[in-house]
Structure 1
Amino acid sequence: MPRVSLSLEEMTVPDALARLRNGELDLAAIHHIPALERDFAQLPLCSTQFVVAMREGHPLAGARRLAELLDAERIVTAGADHFPHSVMMSMFNAHGLPLPQRRLRALSSFAVTLGLVARSDVIGCFTKPLAAMVAPLGIRAARLDDMLPSYALSILSRRDLLPTPAVTQFIACLRQAADETLT
């Protein structure tokens, strides 16, 4: 659409909710939140599986259970106070495991995450399609027997605001991109 300003930013779930609430954001594309506050609307976009990702040749590449990865250093995109919204918490809680203690936080830099996972012994958690896309960088999905959580992506907006034509068009673009990526 002509004369539309579009800004894409990575941020935590609590930050996105705060910025939606105060009107700084029109929408947020983030993982599904089961107990979402009533002043927000949540529109499902897509769902995919998570994988644990590490560099090719990683010392723990042969791990078959999530418990075997507890002592590994991992990169996370959530701060300590945002873990209730994190995939990592869901992943370890589902298997009755404590949260790993060795966490490196990269709150808003996917490039840093990719570089560290590809070139060091830091491990990460990616969606399955993303892991396939970054495989040329030498990043591999661990072949775990444990079932990992799915990632349900939703579009969040304020319930009391109607979307502008630009927002409606952008949501259509997000849907198309999700369909093309996951099929």
Structure 2
Amino acid sequence: MKMHHLRDLLAVAEKGSINAAAKYLGVSQPALSRSVRELEKEMGAPLLERQATGAALTPMGDLFVMRASSAMNELRRARDEIQQMQGSVHGTVVACISAMGHQALLPEALDVFTRRYPNVQLRIIEGVFPMIDARIRSGVVDFYLGPAPEWGAAPGLQLETLFKTRRVVLARKGHPLAGARSLEQLTEARWISTLITAEAEKEFSGVFSGRGLPIPKVALQAETALTWITALISTDMLIMLPDQWLNSTLIRDIIVPIPIEETLGGPFMTLVRRSSVPSTPASEYFCDLLRRVASRQNTAVRDIDKLQLIRHA
């Protein structure tokens, strides 16, 4: 079995056909078909099912691709790590960062990282943990920055808490509920879920049920900030987000907080990585930059807490 066998099958699995995979890899279709047949012969089992519209993995192909993907990611990480330890600034870092991470931490860290590692290809996926759990475990994604997984650190994963968040309710300017002063006045509204939990309703159950209120209707599940921003400014939907969003230049002129009296606790912001695999130097440097910015967030939160204690004394 050779590296190109794994590369070729993974390309077919990703692109959905031998023809599309061949174009993606820059090889001929016959050469790619021959490579897959050689791999199938060595494995002693069919890995692809040829169809009129493309190619689909067989059950054995699914199993093989899962293992092969992990192997290729580890080889990629090993190559990057060795090169970076020898002083090279090449390689790849793949990170999944939530919208909150983009807003609160990424701006300060991004420029510093790209200057330190100008030739490292940085790939950032916007998302939350339920969306990329499998890709973290397989090594496709180097680390996750965002709200803590609802079940905590699962076996094989390392969870590092960065800071605690508070949430506010946001709406478009001129919203008919802009004058509301309590959650009870918002129970009939339509809400946007940011999918920080596997089930969208759980994002609201603790906040509302814990106060004896009915869980509101989830009208939209938004996987990206662009989706919920668009929804907020074009509808009467509401959303609960960490209060750091109030300082965002992206939304502060078009979206406003509803000044309810309740204090809404938010999830912890965390870094999640695999515990059994060391990070490459470039990935670890990026994580360290994010930690430094998060430390300042923690200091700001503590200062706010002190002011509130003084006011209520």
Task: Note the aligned Cα RMSD (angstroms).
Answer: 2.5
Match of 1:128 in 2: 243
1:143 aligns with 2:273: no
Paired position in structure 1 for 2:176: 59
Q: How does 1:10-159 map to 2 (within 5 A)?
A: 10-33=126-149, 34-78=151-195, 82-83=198-199, 87-107=203-223, 109-133=224-248, 134=250, 136-159=252-275
Identity within the alignment, % = 25
Query: Which whole-Å CA distance do the structure 2 matches of 1:43 and 1:178 have between them?
Result: 11
Name the stretch that deviates more: 11-20 or 93-102. 93-102
DSSP-derived class of the 2:273 partner: strand
Bigger radius of gyration among the two: 2
CA distance in 2, matches of 1:31, 1:85: 16
Query: Residue 30 of structure 1: SS of its match in structure 2?
Result: strand
Cα deviation per residue 1:139-165 (whole Å; 9 max; x = unaligned)? 111111122122310000011011111
Matched residue SS, 1:97 = coil
Letter aligned with residue 274 of structure 2: R
Uncovered stretches (5+) of structure 2, i.e. residues with no partner = 1-116, 301-313
Larger relative contact order (CA 8 Å, sep ≥ 6): 1
Does the CA contact (< 8 Å) of 2:161 and 2:270 recur in 1? yes
Aligned pairs, number:
181
**Where has structure 1 moved over 4 Å in runs of 4 or more?**
179-182
- Larger helix share, 1 or 2: 2
Are the aligned partners of 2:179 and 2:258 in contact in 1 as well (CA < 8 Å)?
yes
- Secondary structure of the residue aligned to 1:38 is coil
Closer/same/farther in 2, CA of residues 8 and 94 from structure 1, 3 Å limit: farther
Q: Indicate the SS of the match to 1:75.
A: strand
- Gap change, CA 1:118 and 1:181, over 3 Å in 2: farther
**SS of match in other structure, 2:175:** coil
CA distance in 2: counterparts of 1:150 and 1:75, whole angstroms: 16
Look up the match of 2:119: 3
Aligned AA (1:57): G
Q: Residue type of the partner of 1:50?
A: R
Give the unaligned 5+ runs of structure 1. Answer: none
Q: Distance in 2 between matches of 1:45 and 1:85?
A: 25
* 8 A contact 1:52–1:126 mirrored in 2: yes
Return the TM-score normalized by structure 2: 0.52
C-alpha distance in 2 between matches for 1:44 and 1:181:
12
Contact 1:50 1:127 survives alignment (8 Å) = yes
TM-score normalised by the chain length of structure 1: 0.85
Conserved? CA contact 1:13–1:85, under 8 Å:
no
Q: For 1:136 and 1:101, how far apart are their aligned partners in 2? A: 25
Q: Deviations over 1:41-79 (max 9, x none)?
A: 111112221111012221111212212211111222229
Q: Is contact 2:201–2:215 with CA below 8 Å preserved after alignment?
A: no
C-alpha contact 1:67 1:97 (8 A) present in aligned 2 = yes
The answer to whether the 8 A contact 1:31-1:152 is kept is yes
Offset from partner CA, 1:72-106 (integer Å, 9 cap, x none):
11222229x81279543432243233331242122
Q: For the structure 1 residues 150 and 94, does the alpha-carbon distance in structure 2 shift closer, same or farther, using more than 3 Å as the test?
A: same
Given that 2:162 and 2:268 are in contact with CA atoms closer than 8 Å, whether structure 1 keeps it comes out as yes
